[in-house]
A = this chain, B = another copy of it.
Amino acid sequence: MSQKNTYNVAVVGATGAVGQKMLETLEDRNFPINELKLLSSSRSAGSKMKYKEQELVVEEATPESFEGIDIALFSAGGSVSKKFAPEAVKRGAVVIDNTSAYRMAQDVPLVVPEVNEADIQNHQGIIANPNCSTIQMVAALEPLRDALGLSRVLVSTYQAVSGAGNEAADELREQSQAFLDGEELDAKVLPVKGDEKHYPIAFNALPQIDVFQENGYTFEEMKMINETKKIMHMPNLSVAATCVRLPFFTSHAESVYIEVEKDGVTVEEVKQLLSQAPGIVLEDDPASQKYPTPLSSAGKRDVFVGRVRRDLDNEHGFHLWVVSDNLLKGAAWNSVQIAERIIANQWL
């Protein structure tokens, strides 16, 4: 495809939690759009959404919707991506897919630009956007891996409900009010909409995100484990994850333990590397109680790191607290950022 100045962009799943943030991010970044097409399932077709000063009507996605599209941003669930991403590619579009449908496929690059931007150029039409909790973690780990080597990652997550979509956020809001009013809590969505049992999330913590796998890990945990290895090109990296859903709306936090390979690394060295890394903001000063929180990072595109300290028993071990807006760097912004890098590098 020859270089253009503006592009025809489709957003699939435009009315969802991530889709809405994609529109906002395209607008905030003043993305070079020629024509913007908003697509959805038949259920949401006909909805109206605003982009800049325009009012756009959401259309039902069909294979023909992708005629003339240059870049298609997908975030409407794995089955929609499986059905329509190949149709979009067949019609000449590059697909940036925010579902888990293609992430582990060998011919699909799985990309966090701060970590493996160069992988984009190997794409065969589809580029996968990683899982939200994975993105912020690898973005924080990459500058350390690069300078210090990395042999082990152990993470426990503190994840916002918006990662499970608008319905989950509504459920938290309704249950919270019911709890404060002394009423019974009605649980229909979390931990996993399609799973058999549902538990209240308001004033609670649920150690299940996505469905359980045969090995006793949840799919969310396996995504963090497998995607981290793929993005960082470290198939033998030791990675473990425990993923927990918590009663807040936006931003995931992560308690991350790592072991680096280099000897004699100081906390100052780790902080210095993080403070200079692209996309990372170091917010770390115990003396003034400075550390990132979900509320403080919501609505921002960066990954925030605090609580950096050395393990007291292992000279190579360090602890970090990593926080980022799960709908922005964890989803919409990382997808738009991939699109920006494609354009800047002429990798369409």
- By a beta-carbon cutoff of 8 Å, the part of chain A in contact with chain B is 152, 154, 156, 158, 173, 176-177, 180, 191, 195-197, 199-200, 203-208, 212, 215-217, 225, 238-240, 242, 244, 246-249, 253, 255, 257, 267, 286-289, 291, 293-296, 306-314, 317, 319, 321
Q: Which of B191, B196, B240 contacts A319 (CB 8 A)?
A: B240
Q: Which of B200, B257, B286 contacts A212 (CB 8 A)?
A: B286
Contact A247-B247, Cβ < 8 Å, known A207-B253, A306-B207 = yes
Contacts of A212 in B (CB 8 A): 286-287, 289
Contacts of A248 in B (CB 8 A): 203-205, 247
Total copies of the chain: 2
Task: Give the 8 A-B CB pairs with smallest separation, nearest first.
Answer: A156-B156, A212-B286, A216-B309, A156-B255, A238-B313, A203-B248, A242-B255, A204-B295
A264 to B188, CA, bound (A): 41
Does more than half of chain A's interface fall in helix, strand or loop, or is it mixed? mixed
Interface pair A291/B208, CB less than 8 Å apart: yes
Interface pair A240/B311, CB less than 8 Å apart: yes
- A257 smallest CB distance to B (angstroms): 6
Q: Which of B158, B225, B239, B308 contacts A158 (CB 8 A)?
A: B158
A238 to B310, CA, bound (A): 13
Nearest-CB residue, chain B, relative to A203 = B248
Interface pair B255/A205, CB less than 8 Å apart: no
Interface pair B246/A293, CB less than 8 Å apart: no
- A33 smallest CB distance to B (angstroms): 33
A314 to B253, CA, bound (A): 25
Contact A313-B239, Cβ < 8 Å, known A203-B249, A247-B247 = yes
Interface pair A204/B289, CB less than 8 Å apart: no
